[in-house]
Amino acid sequence: MSGYGRDCADIVRAARAGTYKIGMILGSGLGSLADEVVDGVRIPYSRLTGFPVSSVTSHSSELVAGNLGGVPVVILSGRAHYYESGDAGIMRTPVETLKELGCEILLATNAAGSLRSENAPGSPLILSDHINWSGLNPLIGEEDEARFLDMSAAYDPDLRAALAKVARETGDPVPEGVYMWFSGPSFETPAEIRMARTLGADAVGMSTVPEVILARFLGMRVVAMSILTNYGAGLQSHALSHDETKSVAMTGMDRVKQIVRAFVMEVGHG
């Protein structure tokens, strides 16, 4: 089973020749990081066969290839979520495209709900691991033995350390935590949030996990960072909303951008 990654990589290379080091998938409200890319090309997903066009209002749905801090990067500004299609493999072609373009590293960002009072909305969280209790997996249907993918160190320890280091060097330290994937699109119930905490989660969200599985399947090294936009259901007094996700993600964006920029320079010149 494979997507259209090779075809899409050809389209990107036709627009801008080169090989790339770091691929990024940017979640809700974080797309403006793509504005920092210099010398780049922007290609709308609608021109890339097999790329999903996200229906989520804060996602811009374009691929940006260029230089960030002197490092050749490909930014996927906007992702598709499982809840838009019911297809856990919806991000297969985009992740394949990053790999085909030479990206050895995937950096994924997302917006997530915090399960810990000390990790306040507006602040970032480095993912140390995930819990996929959904029963879904983008590798279901894969026939090759490679489907039995080792996930012991899915979030690369060295890249996590590099992310934590550049965070410390540029501002407040950023904690690590376990991200639990829920399908969405409804938010969790308070009982589900209590369950997630009991199971060892520090944050909850509706994305990233399928992409991480796909990227590991393709042999990429993975690192991921959330911007916490709210406390999980039942842990805050007001109702959860996508408006809150978008607006709080905005407030934390400058810090995330700063960390990502520093991270790219730290690991991209090696």
Binding residues: 28, 59, 79-81, 111, 188, 207, 230
CB atoms closer than 10 angstroms to residue 70? 11
Instruction: At 129, list the tokens.
Output: 């691991």
**Does 124 contact ligand HPA by CB under 6 A?**
no
Contact yes or no for 224/110 (Cβ under 8 A): yes
* 112 forms part of the interface with ligand HPA (CB under 6 A): yes
Out of 245, 253, 255, 262, which residue is the one contacting ligand HPA (CB under 6 A)? Answer: 245
**DSSP strand E in the chain: where?**
22-26, 38-44, 62-68, 71-77, 105-114, 124-132, 176-181, 203-205, 221-231
Nearer to ligand HPA, 5 or 27 (CB): 27
Task: Pick out residues in 31-70 that bind ligand HPA (CB under 6 A).
Answer: none
Between residues 236 and 258, which has the closer beta carbon with respect to ligand HPA?
Answer: 236
Q: How far is CA 245 from CA 32, 60, 114, 196, 256, in A?
A: 16, 16, 12, 19, 15
- Give the separation between CA 39 and CA 68, rounded to whole angstroms: 9
Residue 212 C-beta: closest distance to ligand HPA, Å: 16
- Residues 200-239 touching ligand HPA, rule: CB under 6 A, are 204-206, 229-230, 232
Per CB under 6 A, 82 contacts ligand HPA: no
- What are the beta bridge partners of residue 224? 108
Kindly tell me which of 187 and 217 has the beta carbon lying closer to ligand HPA.
187
Q: Closer to ligand HPA by CB, 33 or 267: give it.
A: 33
Given 75, 240, 262, 264, the residue binding ligand HPA (CB under 6 A):
240
Q: Which residues are annotated as a binding site for a purine D-ribonucleoside?
A: 188, 230
Binding of residue 24 to ligand HPA (CB under 6 A): no
Q: What are phi and psi of 194, to 5 degrees?
A: -60, -40
Residue nearest ligand HPA (C-beta atom): 113
